[in-house]
Amino acid sequence: MVFSSITFLYFFLPAVLILYLPAPKKIKNIVLLLAGLLFYSWGEPTYFWVMIASSLVDYAAGIFMNRTEKTGLRRFALIFSMVVDLGFLFVFKYSGFVVRVINSAFKTNIPEPDLPLPIGISFYTFQSMSYTIDVYLNKVKVQKNFISYLTYVSLFPQLVAGPIVRYNEVENEIDERTVNADGIGDGAVLFIKGLAKKVLIANNIGALWTQVKGMDFSEISVLTAWLGILAFTFQIYFDFSGYSDMARGLGKMLGFNFPVNFDHPYQSKSISEFWRRWHITLGTWFREYLYIPLGGNRKGMPRTCLNLAIVWILTGFWHGASFNFIFWGAFYGILIIIERLGFSKVLEKLPAALSNLYTFLMVMTGWAMFDLDTMKDFAGYVAAMFSGSRLYDSFALYQLSSFGIMFVVCIIASTDMWNRLCTAVSANEKAGKAVGFAVPAVSLVLLLLCTCYLVDASYNPFLYFRF
């Protein structure tokens, strides 16, 4: 069953809160665990057991490592748990891709596995692996209660699409957390903000990309091509950052403080800065558990470049079992290596507008590679961007007039312009009070608009659910 919308989550939340908030401290984790298992099984009933089995192995590995001081045995337990976790990930996400490559390379006819991708497997696998690795490194205390551990893995707010919450980030909140009115209020505002990003902005601007993506790229105009990829650039940002805000908001309402996953990435003045602001938890995971163990930047520039190449190719492969994702990761790896070799100093000397424009254009190009299925499609689309059949056409002008206001909204909402305005206004005591009263009112209006849209709309995908 494909997890096609957020409608279930939207209407599932009130029921969870009604049970969770008055529940005694001792059974709050049980309520959360049951909610997480119900939420996941609704979207993924067939491979529900994969998450349970992976969690059980990692929990047992943690217990075993805690009971022995022998380095060899501890290392064996860690390796065993990682083999199981990555084995599940390989079988369900990458086995079909590997078989296709082998058949193509060696002209064989090996049957291709027909296995649907379990929702969120990339996210909860990395999350669970962070626990066993940190237990092995003695960075966290072992979790002896399986209910508490499974609650951590199955936390429904961020279970299927992140952010990737490492165990050490919520270790103290698993069994000891504070649930109060302020947290519920702040969490509700953040949840509605994310919901509005997703439902009111991402869904609407994404409709333009859906149209353009389905066209013959050899026949579209230059303006059409640029409008299409610009639409997807904003769609994926508001889709994913919207879900991350929703997850963080739900977390606050439940007493958890999940890490920030986005920090206005389209304001970046270099590709390196962009990836410090985009999907922050994934970048942190790869840095902590792959880049630094490989040697990071401690072994000279050639080794640093090699480490970066490995990390970025695997980052691309993490996103999907397809060559376009691998090339997408390699694309960013090359850009970041070039910056590391000295181009970052050039960008620093450029006017901020130029360095920001360079970064944004590279990111847009990357998104075309990311979402188009083949490199042939990507090459055709890039060709249309720079040498389309004509400069513009009636379709492009119509779409520009139809989506012009939405593009303006996207530009403003993707920057920190609104935050800076609120900060400046709040500096004035009277104005600050007015803002304090306005936020709940605006949030309520947005909630009503989102509710109307969810009830009526049929187009409501979450792009990152497929990863």
Decide: 152 and 143 in contact? Cβ < 8 Å. yes
Q: Is 137 exposed, middle or buried (0-12, 13-18, 19+ CB in 10 A)?
A: exposed
More confident residue, 109 or 435: 109
HSE, CB side, 13 Å, CA atoms: give it for residue 291. Answer: 19
Q: Quote the pLDDT of residue 467.
A: 53
- Domain boundaries defined on the chain: 7-177, 183-456
Contacts of 85 (CB under 8 A, 6+ apart): 54, 57, 58, 125, 128, 129
Q: Tell me: pLDDT of 432 over 80.
A: no
Q: Quote the pLDDT of residue 457.
A: 62
Q: Tell me: pLDDT of 425 over 70.
A: no
What confidence tens digit (pLDDT) does each residue in 269-312 have? 999 999 999 999 999 999 999 999 999 889 889 999 999 999 99
Say whether pTM exceeds 0.85: yes
Catalytic residue among 155, 208, 319, 325: 319
Average pLDDT over residues 347-358: 95
Average pLDDT over residues 59-63: 95
Q: Quote the pLDDT of residue 360.
A: 97
Cα(437)–Cα(4) distance, integer angstroms: 35
Confidence label for 452 from pLDDT (cuts 50, 70 and 90): confident
Q: What is the dihedral of CA 10, 15, 16, 19, to 10 degrees?
A: 170
Cα(249)–Cα(260) distance, integer angstroms: 11
Average pLDDT over residues 137-148: 93
Is 319 among the catalytic positions?
Answer: yes
Q: Quote the pLDDT of residue 25.
A: 85
Q: Tell me: pLDDT of 211 over 50.
A: yes
Average pLDDT over residues 92-103: 91
Q: Is 104 exposed, middle or buried (0-12, 13-18, 19+ CB in 10 A)?
A: exposed
Single-letter residue type at 259:
P
Cα(29)–Cα(150) distance, integer angstroms: 9
User: Quick one: tokens of 280?
Assistant: 């922050």
Q: Quote the pLDDT of residue 116.
A: 81
Q: Quote the pLDDT of residue 6.
A: 61
- Which range among 154-158, 304-308, 354-358 shows the weakest confidence by mean pLDDT? 154-158
Three-state secondary structure of the chain: CCCCCCHHHHHHHHHHHHHHCCCCHHHHHHHHHHHHHHHHHHHCCCCHHHHHHHHHHHHHHHHHHHHCCCHHHHHHHHHHHHHHHHHHHHHHHHHHHHHHHHHHHHCCCCCCCCCCCCCCHHHHHHHHHHHHHHHHCCCCCCCCCHHHHHHHHCCCCCCCCCCCCCHHHHHHHHHCCCCCHHHHHHHHHHHHHHHHHHHHHHHHHHHHHHHHHCCCCCCCCHHHHHHHHHHHHHHHHHHHHHHHHHHHHHHHHHCCCCCCCCCCHHHCCCHHHHHHHCCHHHHHHHHHHHHHHHCCCCCCHHHHHHHHHHHHHHHHHHHCCCHHHHHHHHHHHHHHHHHHHHHHHHHHHCCHHHHHHHHHHHHHHHHHHHHCCCHHHHHHHHHHHHHCCCCCCHHHHHHHHHHHHHHHHHHHHCCCHHHHHHHHHHCCHHHHHHHHHHHHHHHHHHHHHHHHHHHHCCCCCCHHHHC
Q: Quote the pLDDT of residue 354.
A: 96
Is-cis flag, bond preceding 118, omega within 30? no
Average pLDDT over residues 150-178: 85
User: Quick one: tokens of 251?
Assistant: 């977390």
Q: Tell me: pLDDT of 209 over 90.
A: yes
Token pair 């139809």 in the structure block, residue: 402
Confidence label for 175 from pLDDT (cuts 50, 70 and 90): confident
Q: Quote the pLDDT of residue 3.
A: 42
Average pLDDT over residues 77-92: 94
Average pLDDT over residues 233-253: 93
Q: Which of 94, 114, 96 has the alpha carbon at shortest distance from 104?
A: 96
Average pLDDT, the chain: 88
- Which range among 32-46, 145-159, 212-226, 283-297 shows the weakest confidence by mean pLDDT? 32-46
Decide: 437 and 425 in contact? Cβ < 8 Å. no
Single-letter residue type at 57:
V
Residues of the chain with pLDDT > 70: what percent?
91
Q: Quote the pLDDT of residue 312.
A: 96
What confidence tens digit (pLDDT) does each residue in 6-57 have? 666 667 778 888 888 888 888 989 988 888 888 877 766 778 888 899 999 9
Decide: 108 and 99 in contact? Cβ < 8 Å. no
Q: Quote the pLDDT of residue 237.
A: 96
Residues of the chain with pLDDT > 90: what percent?
59
More confident residue, 382 or 458: 382
